[in-house]
Structure 1
Amino acid sequence: MSNDIIHKTAEKVAALRDHFIHHERFELLEARFAMLVAKRLSDLDAGRSSEAHGLALSGPSGTGKSAAMHHLLAGVGQQLSTTRHWDAPIISLRVPSPATLKFVGYTLLRALGYQISSERQAWYIWDLVRHHLKERQVLFVHLDEAQDLASRGTKHELNAVASMLKTLMTDPDWPVGIILSGTPELEDILNHDPQLARRMQTVHFNSLSPVAHGNDVLDLVENYCKRAGLPPAPGIVEPAHGERLIHAAANQFGLVIELTLAAIEQAFLNGARQLASRDFARAYHLRTACDDSFNPFIIPDFYRVDARQVFSREKR
């Protein structure tokens, strides 16, 4: 295999990876956030300093939360920057480790472009955070992997996290909307404090179901095939393949996309003229190093395979 083929394949797959496919769950998330933005802008235009509200997106790992949130915030942030001439209307960051309130505040200050010694006390850091949020006219702060804010789950920790989030949303000088995304453990933070929960709209991304989402997954595969200029083989658009793909992805939306892109990559590398089941089988093998007898795209009784396991092979 020539370096030229490898290079061209990498370019094509990178372009496909950069493409975001809209889906029903994203449309709900987009509509909820659009209303939050509209209300915040309405308050600003009217000179009101009403408390801000937020949005929380939860779901198991691999359900596509981070990709959906990144696409959503990037689009809205660009629109606000262009129409309102704001520098950074939305600040987005992943909750750092260790996820202490002090370190989160320190990381948020750095995202705001302000450097400070980490030796400062937490109250001082968060006072600076609120000051710079106002100075930069930040409308929303997004915290990804937000469940880590209360990783120990103690009552004291939950109280401190809830208090910090409420303080930002109710700041009389410059209220800021809070956007949280994370695994279902995030829900514990909201359920711990009813005052915080009532200020948040919530969206949940479930794991995929072969019955409920089979056709959606097939549409996704066809969409990627069209953009790749690689027609799907007849069996690829059949419901049976959709079930296999969902199971091979451990019912995770994000992994469905990863396997589909990896299959397209294999087709490109092998000079195929269409995307076939063998390409998905190769992609699954590369991800898991499993024997063919544990490959959901090869065996008839694929539901017996635990798709969360790697290196699966027959005992000899």
Structure 2
Amino acid sequence: MTNDRMQDTARCVTELRDLFIRHERFAPLEHRFTLLSAKRLADIETGRTSEARGIALSGASGAGKSAAIEHLITRARKRLEAEGHGEMTIVSLRVPSPATLKFVGQELLRALGYQIGAERQAWYIWDLVRHHLRERRVLFVHLDEAQDLACRGTRHELNAVASMLKTLMTDGEWPVGLILSGTEDLEDILNHDPQLARRMNTIHFESLSPIADGENATDLLANYCARGKLTPVEELLTRAHGERLVHAAANQFGLVIELILEAMERAYLAGAASLTAVHFAESYQQRAACGDAFNPFIIPDFYRIDPRQVFTRRPD
């Protein structure tokens, strides 16, 4: 295998990863955010300082939340900037670890272009956060992996997190909308405080079903192959393979895409013009370090395999 082929493969796969395939779950997210944004701008234009609202997106790991939010924010930023609202209308931050309120505040200040020493107290840091959000006329703050805001789950911690989020949304001078994305544990933060929950539009990305969504998975596969100039063999476009694919992805939309791209990567590296089941089997083996008996793209009874497990080479 030549270095040129590896470089070409990396380039092709990177371009495919940058694609966003619109799906039925994205439409409600986009609609709610567009309406929320329009209301926030209307308040600003009329000089009102009513409380801001937010969106909370939850789903299992691999459900495709991050890709959906990234696409949503990228499009919104371009639109808002084109309308003359500035470059920092939406600030996005992955919640750091350890996710103390002080550390999150420091990271948010850095995202806003302001550095601060670690010796400052949390209350001072968050006063600065609100100041810089107002000065830069930020409309929304996005916190990814937001469930980590309350990773210890104590009542005191949940109270502090909920209070901080509500303060941003109800600031008397410049209320800021929130976009929270994370696993189902994010729901615990919202359910802990009804006042916070009522200010949020909640959306959940449900898991897929191999039987119900198998054909959609094969449609997705065909779409990526067309974009990537690979011809899928007929076997891959059957409902049976779609069911295998969804199960191997632990029923998660984002992981379905990952498995497709990894199989295409194997085909590119092999110099193949067609995508086959062998490429899926090889890429899954590389991902999970499993034996053939635990590879859902090889064995007939693939439903017995737990796709969340890795290094499975022999029965317990």
Same fold (TM over 0.5): yes
Q: Would you say 1:230 and 2:230 are equivalent positions?
A: yes
Q: Would you say 1:280 and 2:288 are equivalent positions?
A: no
Query: Could you tell me which residue of structure 2 aligns to residue 290 of structure 1?
Result: 290
Superimposed CA distance per residue, residues 11-67 of structure 1 (whole angstroms, 9 cap, x where no aligned partner) = 111110111111111111111111111111111121211110000000111111111
Q: CA deviation at 1:315?
A: 5.9
Q: CA deviation at 1:254?
A: 1.7
2:266 and 2:72 mapped to 1: Cα distance? 30
1:313 and 1:158 mapped to 2: Cα distance? 41
The correspondence of residues 100-249 of structure 1 with structure 2, limited to 5 A, is 100-249=100-249
Superimposed CA distance per residue, residues 68-92 of structure 1 (whole angstroms, 9 cap, x where no aligned partner) = 1111111101211121241200000
1:315 and 1:208 mapped to 2: Cα distance? 27
Query: Could you tell me which residue of structure 2 aligns to residue 62 of structure 1?
Result: 62
1:258 and 1:99 mapped to 2: Cα distance? 28
Q: CA deviation at 1:314?
A: 3.3
SS at match of 2:97: coil
Query: Could you tell me which residue of structure 1 aligns to residue 268 of structure 2?
Result: 268
SS at match of 2:109: helix
Superimposed CA distance per residue, residues 244-297 of structure 1 (whole angstroms, 9 cap, x where no aligned partner) = 011111112222111100111111111222111111111111111212222111
Q: Would you say 1:308 and 2:308 are equivalent positions?
A: yes
Uncovered stretches (5+) of structure 2, i.e. residues with no partner: none
Normalising by structure 2, report the TM-score. 0.97
The alignment's C-alpha RMSD in Å is 1.3
2:259 and 2:54 mapped to 1: Cα distance? 33
Structure 1 residues 286 and 177, CA gap change in structure 2 (3 angstroms) = same
2:43 and 2:277 mapped to 1: Cα distance? 54
Q: Percent identity?
A: 67
Superimposed CA distance per residue, residues 213-271 of structure 1 (whole angstroms, 9 cap, x where no aligned partner) = 22221121111011001121111111100110111111122221111001111111112
Query: Deviation above 3 Å: which 4+ runs of structure 1?
Result: none
Query: Could you tell me which residue of structure 2 aligns to residue 83 of structure 1?
Result: 83
1:36 and 1:44 mapped to 2: Cα distance? 13
Question: Structure 1 counterpart of 2:211, which letter?
Answer: V
